[in-house]
Amino acid sequence: MSDAPSDGPDARRALLAVVAVLALVTSAAAAPVLAGQTPLADVDSPSAPSDVPGFLRGFEPLRDLLDRNQQPRVEGTSGLGALRLGDATDVGGPVSQEAQRDAATPHFVGRTDGPTYWRTGAYVDYTGNGWERSDVNTIQPGRLSGERERETHDVVLRRPATALPTPWRPIGVNHDCPDGETCGVSVSATDTTGIRATPALGAGGEYALETLSPVSDPSLLREVRVRGSIASTQYTSIDTTDRMEQLAARVVGDADNRYDAAKAVEEYLEAEKTYSLTDVPKPGDSVADQFVFEQENGYCENFATAMTVMLRSQDVPARYVVGYTAGERVGEDRYLVRGADAHAWVEVYFENYGWVRFDPTPTAPRQAADERLAEGSPTYRISVNESLVPGETVTTEVTTAGTPASNAAVFVNGERVATTDEDGLAQFRVPYADSVNVTVRPVDDDGHELTPVDDNATAALGFGVAAAQTDQSTTNETGTTREFDVAANVRFQFDGDVEAGDDLPVSVTIEGREFANASVSVAGEPQGRTGPNGTIPVTIPPDASGVVELTASRGNLTRTTTYPLDDLSVSVSPSLVAPFPSTKATARVTSGGEAVTGAPVTLNGETVGFTDENGKIRFDVPLSRTPSVAATASGKEATTYVDGVLPSLALGVLAAVGSLAGVAAVARRRGITLAGVIAGVRYAVREVASGVVEALVGVADAMDDLVAEFRAAADEGWREVLSWLASLPGRARLPDVRAWLAGIAAAAREASRDDIEDAAENADRGRLASLWRRFVAVVGVRDWRTKTPAEVAREAVGRGFPERPVYALTTAFRDAAYGGSDEDARAEEAERALDSLQSDDEEEGEQ
C-alpha cells in the first residue's frame, strides 16, 4: 500500500461538497438587497457550521467560510411582539403600563387566506433572565421543499417597523413605501429567517409576501427521532438546573419521536400553569426554573421560555420566537393586529421539514385578557358623510386601522342590511326611528356572521391575546357599533286658513321631503295614512280653539306638533330681574293662549331652535339695543322685542361701582385697608396649615392613648370596656372656630392700623417736601436739587432774606429728612417759618 494521498471517490466527494458550500455562501452573500422584490432562502433550515451533516463536519475551512455570512447585530433590547427587535429581550415580570397602553393600538393589517401567526424574529441564546440573538449561519437542505404549497400575503403597517411581520416560512418579499420610491428602504433575511427592513419601513408602508405552507402533519413529523439532530448545538445546549433536566426527562418519558416529546412538554405546561398578565412576580436569575418550580402564574414569555429550556435539556433543537397571533378578522381575508396580539411561542426543528411551531400558552384565559386589553379600541371606524333622513338611502364607509374593511356585515338597528365592498362601502335605507345604530361585524368567506369563540376552540392570543383560530373556529368580537342621530323634522301644511270643524287636506313633509305612508291623527283621532305625495284629508274638531294637535308616525318614528288656529303670540321672560347681556331668557309661543310646539324661533334673524311641548325655548340675551325674537308656525308669524338690554347693563355697571364704593367707604370708616385684608388671609392660611399638622399629630397621639386605654379596660373585663366606650362621646372636643375667626380679624385690624400710621407718616413727609419746594420758589434759588439744604439757605440769606426764618425752615427740613426727628412737629415749625418769610417778602414788595 502506498502512503500517497489518493484521488479516489472520497477526495472527489469532499471537493464537490466544498464547491457546493462555496456556491451556497457566495450566492447568499450576493443576494440582492433591493427596495422591490427580495428573494429569501427557499426552505426551512437549521443553523451554524455544526449543521453540516456527516463527513463535512470535519472541514474547518467550511466554518470560516460560513462565518462570513452573518447578520449585523442590532443594539438594544426589544419587547414582546416588537416591530423593532434588538439584540436581547427580557422574559417575565408584570406587564408594563406602557405595554398595556399600547395594547389597543393597531400595529398592522394583514391580508391572508386564513388566521395565522405573524412572526417577527427568533432568539437563540438563553441568558437565564432572557434571550439574546446569536450569530448563526443557515444551510439549505432541499428535501420536500418543492412539495409544499406557496402562499401570498399582504401587510399594511400602522407603525414603523424594522422587523417585518410574516407568516412562516417567508421566501420572498416585495414592498412599497408610503411616499413612493423615495424612502430608500431595503429588506433582507436574518439568520433565523426573519425579515429586516433597513431603515425602518414607516407607518402606511405596504409589502407583499410569499411563503411556504408549514408542515403540521403529525404522521410526517413522528418520523424524526427525539435526539441526534443535525441542527446547531446552540439549539440543543442549555445552562439550566438539575431539577429542570430531571423534570423534562420525566415529562418526555419514553417518547420515541420528536413530535410526541414536544407535545408532551407543551401539554404539561398548559395543564400545570395558570395564565395571568398581572399576578406575576419579578423575574430572577433563572426565569425558566423560577416559573416551573416557584410560581403558579405567567404569560406567554414564561411558557415559551420554559418549553424551550425543557426541550433543549433533552437534546431537542428548539428556539424562542416572538411575533403576533392572527389578530381580529375585520373583512374578507383581512386581520387587524394590535399591540394586544403580541405573543411568544416555540419552534422545534425537524429534519427534512424545518422549524415547526408549538404554543404552550393556555388558550381560554388569554381571550379574556384580549378583551380587557383591547377595551376602548373600536375594531372598525364607521362614518356617514350625509344627513340620515328616514326613508332615504345613504352610504356608509367602514375602515379598520385606516384601510377599507371589505366583506364586513353591516347591521342597522339590529337588522343585517348590507355587506361592505372592496372599498369598505355599503348602502342602506335609513329606518324610521329616532336614532340609527350601525353595527359592523366580520363574516366568514361564505358571508355568514362570525360568533364568539367557545372555550374549546383552537386559539392563541397574544401576550397571548389575539385569536388565531382554525377554519372551524370563530372570532371573539361582536363588532363595532356607532349611533347616529336622524334628521326628522316633520311639518304639516294646510292650504289657507284653518278653522274649527273644517274638512281639508294636509301635506306632511319630513326634512322637506314627502312623508309617505305615515299614520296621521288630529287631536288624538286617527285620520288614516298619507299617500305617495305625503297628503291626507283630515277633519278639524268643531270644538278646537287656539291650537290643534297633529301627529304623524311611521315605524318607530313619531312626531307631534301643534297647529295654530288663531294668531301667534310671542312673549319673552328674562331669567333675572332684567335682561342683562349673556344671561338666559325664555321665549314662549302661543296661539289663543295655547302653547305652540315645534315652532322655529329666531333671534335677530338667526335660528335658535324649536319650541318644546310647553311652547318654550331658552336663549342667551345678546348685547344689542333691542333684540328681536320671532316665531313662525303654519304660515303665521309673530315678533316681539327685548327692551332694556343696554339700560340694564348700564344700571348693573353703576350698581356694581356703587357697591364697591360703599364697601370701600365702610371699610375706611372701620379702619380696614387692603393691607389688612391681605394680612387676614395670610393669617388664615398659616393657621389652617398649622391646624392640619397639629390635628394629624393629635389624632396619632389620641389613637395611641385610646389603644392603651382599651387594652387596660379589656384587662378589667367587658363591663369596664362598655364603661370606657360610654365615656368617649363626652371627651370629644370641637375646634374653637370662634377664636380662630377672632384671630383673623385681629390680624386684619393690626395690619390696617399699621397701614394708617404709615400713610400718616408718608403724608407728613410729603408736607415737608411741599413746604421746601415752596421755600425754594420764594427765594428763587436755581438748581436747588443739586444743592444741600445748607447751601440753599446761605444763598437765600445772600439774596437778602432774613436769617432766622430761613435757617429755622432749613433746620426743620434737614432734621426730619436726615435726622429722624418727629416729622409732625418739624412740619409745623417749617410752615411757620415759611409764612414769616412770605410776610416779609410781601411787606418789602409794598414798600
β-strands 490-494, 503-510 pairing: antiparallel
β-strands 297-298, 274-275 pairing: parallel
Examine the pLDDT at 832 and tell me if it is beyond 90. no
pLDDT grade for 435, boundaries at 50, 70 and 90: very high
Q: Using one digit for the tens of pLDDT, what is the confidence trace for 659-705?
A: 888 777 776 666 666 666 676 676 567 666 666 666 676 677 677 77
Q: Using one digit for the tens of pLDDT, what is the confidence trace for 698-755?
A: 677 677 777 877 777 777 777 777 777 777 776 666 665 666 566 666 655 565 555 5
What is the predicted pLDDT for the residue at 30? 39
**Interaxial angle between packed helices 242-252 and 258-272, expressed in degrees from 0 to 180 and rounded to the nearest 10:** 110
**Other CB atoms within 10 A of residue 764 CB:** 18
Q: Using one digit for the tens of pLDDT, what is the confidence trace for 387-417?
A: 999 999 999 999 887 788 888 899 999 999 9
Question: What is each CA distance from 701 to 694, 696, 721, 735, in whole angstroms?
Answer: 10, 9, 20, 17
Residue, of 445 and 316, whose pLDDT is higher:
316
What is the predicted pLDDT for the residue at 559? 92
> For residues 382 and 480, what is the distance between their CA atoms, to the nearest angstrom?
8
**Residues 493-512, mean pLDDT to the nearest whole number:** 90
Q: Where are the domains of the chain?
A: 490-564, 568-647, 751-846
Q: What's at 14, amino acid-wise?
A: A
Residue, of 28 and 639, whose pLDDT is higher:
639
Least confident of 30-39, 73-82, 584-593: 30-39
What is the predicted pLDDT for the residue at 819? 60
What is the predicted pLDDT for the residue at 56? 39
What is the predicted pLDDT for the residue at 460? 34
What is the predicted pLDDT for the residue at 734? 60
Q: Using one digit for the tens of pLDDT, what is the confidence trace for 143-157?
A: 556 677 899 999 999
- The three-point CA angle 330-334-340 to 5° equals 65
What is the predicted pLDDT for the residue at 285? 87
Helix (H) or strand (E) holding 621: none
> For residues 379 and 328, what is the distance between their CA atoms, to the nearest angstrom?
8
Determine the 3-state secondary structure of 172 from DSSP.
Answer: strand
Report the candidate in 437, 96, 25 with the shortest Cα–Cα distance to residue 277.
Answer: 96
What is the predicted pLDDT for the residue at 792? 82
What is the predicted pLDDT for the residue at 807? 82
| pLDDT > 70 in the chain, percent | 72
Examine the pLDDT at 785 and tell me if it is beyond 80. no
Q: Using one digit for the tens of pLDDT, what is the confidence trace for 110-140?
A: 999 989 999 999 999 999 999 998 877 554 5
> For residues 306 and 15, what is the distance between their CA atoms, to the nearest angstrom?
43
**Residues 41-45, mean pLDDT to the nearest whole number:** 47
Least confident of 64-78, 602-616, 631-645: 64-78
> For residues 390 and 53, what is the distance between their CA atoms, to the nearest angstrom?
74
568-647 maps to CATH 2.40.50.320: no
> For the whole model, what pTM was predicted?
0.55
Please tell me what DSSP assigns to residue 440.
E
Q: Are residues 427 and 415 in contact, defined by beta-carbon separation less than 8 angstroms?
A: no
Examine the pLDDT at 496 and tell me if it is beyond 70. yes
What is the predicted pLDDT for the residue at 673? 65
pLDDT grade for 232, boundaries at 50, 70 and 90: confident
Of these ranges, 4-8, 446-450, 691-695, the one predicted with the greatest mean pLDDT is 691-695
Average predicted confidence (pLDDT) for the chain? 78
Q: Classify burial at 819, counting beta carbons within 10 Å of its beta carbon; exposed 0-12, middle 13-18, buried 19 or more.
A: exposed
HEC profile of 290-320:
HHHHCCCEECHHHHHHHHHHHHHHCCCCEEE
Q: Are residues 191 and 137 in contact, defined by beta-carbon separation less than 8 angstroms?
A: yes
Examine the pLDDT at 301 and tell me if it is beyond 90. yes
**Residues 491-517, mean pLDDT to the nearest whole number:** 91
Grid coordinates representing 230 are 443535525
Class assignment of domain 490-564? mainly beta
What is the predicted pLDDT for the residue at 5? 41
Q: What's at 320, amino acid-wise?
A: Y
Grid coordinates representing 232 are 446547531
What is the predicted pLDDT for the residue at 620? 94
Helix (H) or strand (E) holding 475: none
What is the predicted pLDDT for the residue at 40? 61
What is the predicted pLDDT for the residue at 320? 96
What is the predicted pLDDT for the residue at 134? 84
Q: Are residues 332 and 289 in contact, defined by beta-carbon separation less than 8 angstroms?
A: no
Examine the pLDDT at 9 and tell me if it is beyond 60. no
What is the predicted pLDDT for the residue at 747? 59
Question: What is each CA distance from 233 to 50, 52, 133, 354, in whole angstroms?
Answer: 7, 11, 15, 16
Classify 534 in phi/psi space as left (phi over 0), alpha (psi -120 to 50) or beta.
left
Q: Are residues 225 and 256 in contact, defined by beta-carbon separation less than 8 angstroms?
A: yes
What is the predicted pLDDT for the residue at 698? 66
- DSSP-assigned beta bridge partners for residue 427: 395
Q: What are phi and psi of 298, to 5 degrees?
A: -175, 180
Q: How far from the centroid of its chain's Cα atoms is residue 65's Cα?
A: 52
Report the candidate in 278, 337, 566 with the shortest Cα–Cα distance to residue 465.
Answer: 337
**Interaxial angle between packed helices 60-67 and 9-29, expressed in degrees from 0 to 180 and rounded to the nearest 10:** 10
pLDDT grade for 179, boundaries at 50, 70 and 90: low
β-strands 106-111, 150-157 pairing: antiparallel
Tell me the chain's radius of gyration from C-alpha atoms: 46
pLDDT grade for 107, boundaries at 50, 70 and 90: very high
